[in-house]
Structure 1
Amino acid sequence: MTEGLTKKSTSSHVDEKKDDVLGGRKKKLSPLLKLALELGPLALFFVANNRYGIFAATGVLMAGVVVTLVVSWGVTRHLPAMPLVTAALVLVFGTLTYVLHDETFIKLKVTILYSLFGAGLIGALYFGKLLLPIVFDLAIHIDDEGWRKLTWRWGLFFFFLAGLNEVVRRVVTTDVWVNFKVFGILPLTILFAIAQTPLIMRHEIPPEEENSDTHF
């Protein structure tokens, strides 16, 4: 029985802290709305770049991430860490792009964003912290060993994306880079996430085991 308690996933502790300020369980975005909020700014960025160029597209992206945060907060009264950090960097580097009229900054934002996520996830492990469920706002239930393995994988993957972006942004035109950002990074991330399914299944905690501590 005690062993069952020690095996309990960190995700359950995270979930307990996710009650919203109104006293009930935190409201969730519908899958369709969540997808629209995640992909909408990127799609608008792509369209605006094709029609009006990178500087107009940067403005559209900045407006898009702000709208995303407003809608997310309005529906859930909660802002996940990853969209919040992403929006902050978009606004900072987007402003630099406009003020200095240099598209390098909006490209560099991608490198810095993924480097921060990679360093944050892996660095936190050395302090015994598991940030992945917080960063991704995940509701999966796996044991601590599973979270550690998943954190290492995502951390290294983020470093890979940061390095890949650095190579691409230096050797291709801006239009090609925008295509890479939309049709390269996004599919790679989706495929990588799907590839983690076997790991998640191996370390998944059955609902009956997760709820067993309610009897103590």
Structure 2
Amino acid sequence: MAGKKINPILKMVLEFGPIVLFFIGYLKLKDEIFLIGGEEYKGFILVTAAFVPLMMMSTAALWKLTGHLSKMQLATLVLVVLFGGLSVWFNDERFFKMKPTMIYLLFGGLLAVGLMRGESWLKVVMEEVMPMEEAGWMILTRRICGFFLGLAVANEVIWRFFTTDTWVYFKTFGLPVAMFLFFMTQGPLLQKYGLEEDEEVEDPKA
């Protein structure tokens, strides 16, 4: 069921606002140590603790304004709460750094299962906004599946072998830029296999 239309700028603020605030908070508190309940917490953990409710509130606002949340938005929220909560509870930033890996493995793995069944599960969730021939959906699904799995590997390499600063910049800027560039390069595919609105409706006189 399609959601209600909202101002695109407001939508962008709700979707990316928590990430931007996480980045700003990290830059301000990354070198700080806080003593809470007799235990020391790095600034990264406190920023993560603030990011989780921010993400919950922004997702709730999107649902309230649009009346709809995609499966991807819901899955992302669940993983943010789970891995962010684990990082705060165990005072271990590694859990939160693993979160993008889990998100991309989940989405990439689901698409891979669909492909093994000869189906495009991407089509199920995106067909209404991007009508396309079946062959196009299969090609796009294979590409996005590979892309997501590649992002999962990239995140693992960066958080395990590079500094926290590098990972935060990668998460805040690298991942969104990679997504943007990937979908920009799919233009020829969409042009080749895209369907016009009148092509989807069968002519009753035919």
TM-score (norm 1): 0.82
In 2, Cα distance between the equivalents of 1:33 and 1:197? 26
Deviation, structure 1 residue 136: 5.9
Can you give the 5+ residue segments of structure 1 that lack an aligned partner in the other structure? 1-17, 20-25
Can you give the 5+ residue segments of structure 2 that lack an aligned partner in the other structure? 30-42
Query: Identity of aligned pairs, percent?
Result: 37
Q: Is the counterpart of residue 165 in structure 1 residue 155 in structure 2?
A: yes
Q: Deviations over 1:163-211 (max 9, x none)?
A: 0011111111212210111121111111001111111111011222112
Q: Deviations over 1:59-92 (max 9, x none)?
A: 2321222112211211122111111101100000
The runs of at least 4 aligned residues of structure 1 exceeding 3 Å deviation read: 133-138, 213-216
TM-score (norm 2): 0.86
In 2, Cα distance between the equivalents of 1:178 and 1:205? 39
Amino acid at match of 1:159: L
In 1, Cα distance between the equivalents of 2:127 and 2:47? 28
In 1, Cα distance between the equivalents of 2:185 and 2:73? 22
Where 2:153 maps in the other structure, the secondary structure is helix
Count of aligned positions = 193
Further displaced range: 183-192 or 96-105: 183-192
In 2, Cα distance between the equivalents of 1:133 and 1:75? 25
In 2, Cα distance between the equivalents of 1:161 and 1:169? 12
Amino acid at match of 1:78: H
Match of 1:45 among 12, 17, 22: 22
Where 1:212 maps in the other structure, the secondary structure is coil
Does structure 1 conserve the Cα–Cα contact (< 8 Å) formed by 2:132 and 2:190?
A: yes
Task: Please tell me the root mean square deviation across aligned C-alpha atoms, in Å.
Answer: 1.9
In 1, Cα distance between the equivalents of 2:204 and 2:10? 34
Partner of 1:88: 78
